[in-house]
Structure 1
Amino acid sequence: MFRRTRLLSALALLAVVAGCGSNAAADGGAKLALDADLPTTVPDGTKIVVGDPATEVALKLSGQLDKVSKFVQFANLSGGPQTTEAFRARALDVGSVAEIPPIHATWTGLKVKIVASKFRQDPLNHPIYQLGVAPGVEVKKLEDLRGKKIAFSPGQAQGALVLKVLKKVGLTKEDVKLVELPSTGDVYSNALSAKQVDVAPIGGVQVKRYLTKYGKDGASTIPHGIRDDAGHLYVAQESLEDAGKAAAIRAYVAAWGVAQDWIDKHPKEWIAGYYVKDQGLTEADGQWLVDNAGHPDISADWSDAIERQQETVDLLSKETGNKEIEAKDLYDLRFQTVAADAIKGGAK
């Protein structure tokens, strides 16, 4: 309850600071059809609220922030639950998330569109998550998951990953015990160390820290062998129906693409400026994260991404009872080349 109250308070404050009353996503700009060409000029006075803290830091470090600061206000919000609530509160225009939030938002009646996508080159060798195994639990291969207590977060990437892993080895939800837990912060690592669950997908520096802290007690991780590398910018559809905001979102997507490329090409600056100074990690943790992330893949063709997204939709629909949706309808294809063109220097 405390966390939700704190989030709602933050959203209320954000709405006031943004100077948009209760409506950040529709401020009376010229109406734009969803199949109309994207405008390329951002009108004076246009403002969009963006929940993408990492890119904000990348833009500052790379000297690119001035390109968007006139029309972008950053909010310290990220992840599916926070961004979806912010969309509903009409306090946010753009959010940065993994694969599942746009699907989950659509199932809850919220109209959103994906406007940028980032993946990892060689994704199976550079996964975001590994399956953490609690001390004393014998899980050496995926088939050993049968009968185990597994942390599960519906509506988030970690939850979908669990379902994909079970499907991969021919198991169902009935073959394991899914324990619903939020996947924020250290929740999964703590649940593993306390043996509240036997297995949980943990990602990023949590993998390194979990093994360092509990490896001596028998904690371990195993690879899952499934692509888990999707990262998206998604937006409230009504923001795209505002011509000024649509132009601002297009400009932001271009800046986002350049920022991802800068991060890849300046790992030392990124480690020092983001992981150490902004996130409070050690330089060693930052280097571990950079090494394990590999290089980004930002394509001008979303066909493969949409096909993989459809497979995820089909699986989740079957497992959750939600209606089937067309993955291609989640994407605004007008943005398909924007980030890639910006990286090549072709965006204006």
Structure 2
Amino acid sequence: MKEKKKEIEKLLARPDLTPEQMKNYGIEYAKIEEIENIANRIKETQEFIELLREEGENELEIEKYEKELDQLYQELLLLLSPEASDKAIVEIRPGTGGEEAALFARDLFRMYTRYAERKGWNLEVAEIHETDLGGIKEVVFFVKGKNAYGILKYESGVHRVQRVPVTESGGRIHTSTATVAVLPEIEEKDIEIRPEDLKIETFRASGHGGQYVNKTESAVRITHIPTGIVVSCQNERSQYQNKQTALRILRARLYQLQKEQKEREISQKRKSQIGTGERSEKIRTYNFPQNRVTDHRINYTSYRLQEILDGDLDEIISKLIEHDIENNLEEVLGIGASVEEK
């Protein structure tokens, strides 16, 4: 980071820079200074918390500074992540476990809805299909708010629940799963989709909506022919709206596919990273008999299951962000070394 800062300082001193280049280098230089400033504040706050513990200070006082530390980690994440987008697309689907898995998918959807409310984010449902017992076969929704993707991306993976299902008469504990995929929403200019690569079909929407839904072919199904990716949308009132929503989801899925292919071509991901974000990876267990939630990526356990399912996710996500930054900060950007040298 220090070397990069010096390099930009030399570039800014060049007399042949255009106004646009001067502006861009200036923005980059300011961002580096902000990263270094927050990194220093994190180090100072960590040291201060340790000092408070050694002096046996009141736990409420320590908690106040720990919350401040969590906020600093989230601010740093926003600056460091190239994908710290304010827009995310979240998809939840039941895994193993039949109707209980669908009910668990509904619980996860409620959890993220309440979390978005706590964060002051806007949540918009694009597609939802429910079961007869109130579970969810599939739900796709957009989230918009400060660093929404940068935070929610830690939720990608397989979530596991251990509890007695409402459908179980014998009182036995079952294990079921649901899959969560979190994608950054991609702008139209950032990914090219050729019209000739799309097969667009319309059909009558099903489910809630009454006579309007039954009589109008407002639902849209888009197939991306080269990849075989299929996106359907019927939640909006008009065919045009459903088409635009489906294209938003398609862009995100194509971007993710290209990203994964590129990563495989370049190298395997570092072992130090907290999970791969792959949908097949079990990331968290919600154990009802023990009131326990365990995140397997960082081996962190909380005994506040009901509060977490009610949307109080900051406790776990802050630990994930902290782990991610501490493991990757010095390796990726050299921040750790520059902080110590100052």
Aligning the two structures, in what range does the TM-score lie when normalised by the shorter sequence? Answer: under 0.3
Relative contact order (alpha carbons < 8 A, sep ≥ 6): 1 or 2 greater? 1
Structure with higher Rg: it is: 2
